Amino acid sequence: DVKVTQSSRYLVKRTGEKVFLECVQDMDHENMFWYRQDPGLGLRLIYFSYDVKMKEKGDIPEGYSVSREKKERFSLILESASTNQTSMYLCASSGLAETTDTQYFGPGTRLTVL
C-alpha cells in the first residue's frame, strides 16, 4: 500500500512565523504535490515536483516555497505565515509506471494562523 505521511495533523502558528510542513512517501514516487483545501474552493495546487531538487509552481504559489532534497520528502514552507494561510494542507504523490497520474494523499495538516 502507498503510504504518504505528513509531519503534523494540527498546527497552530502566529502571524509572521516561518512554518515548515513535511511530507514523506514510501513508494519511490517521482512526483509530489502540495495542495491547500478550503471550503467552497476545492483543492488548489500550490507547488509540485517531478524529481529531487526540481519544483514547479502550481496555481497559488504566492507566500509559499518548497524543498525537495530527497526523493521521498517534499517540504512546504510558509516564509511568513499570514491568517489567510489558515487552511487544510494536503500532500500527494504519484509515479508508478502503470499508474503515473494516480495521486495518493497524506492525512493532511490543518494549519491555523493566529
Partner 1 sequence: RKEVEQDPGPFNVPEGATVAFNCTYSNSASQSFFWYRQDCRKEPKLLMSVYSSGNEDGRFTAQLNRASQYISLLIRDSKLSDSATYLCAVNWDSSYKLIFGSGTRLLVRP
Footprint of partner 1 (CB under 8 A)? 31, 33, 40-43, 45, 48, 50, 56, 58, 88, 90, 94-95, 99-108, 110
The 3-state secondary structure of 15-83 reads CCCCEEEEEEECCCCCEEEEEEEECCCEEEEEEEECCCCCCEECCCCCCEEEEEEECCEEEEEECCCCH
Whole-number minimum distance, CB 56 to partner 1, in Å?
Answer: 7
Question: Which of 65/102 has CB closer to partner 1?
Answer: 102
Question: Which of 43/60 has CB closer to partner 1?
Answer: 43
Whole-number minimum distance, CB 76 to partner 1, in Å?
Answer: 15
Whole-number minimum distance, CB 47 to partner 1, in Å?
Answer: 11
Nearest-angstrom CA–CA distance, 37 and 86: 10
Whole-number minimum distance, CB 81 to partner 1, in Å?
Answer: 21
CB-CB contact of 64 with 75 (8 Å): no
Question: Which of 17/52 has CB closer to partner 1?
Answer: 52
Separation of first and last alpha carbons in the chain: 37
Question: Which of 54/114 has CB closer to partner 1?
Answer: 54
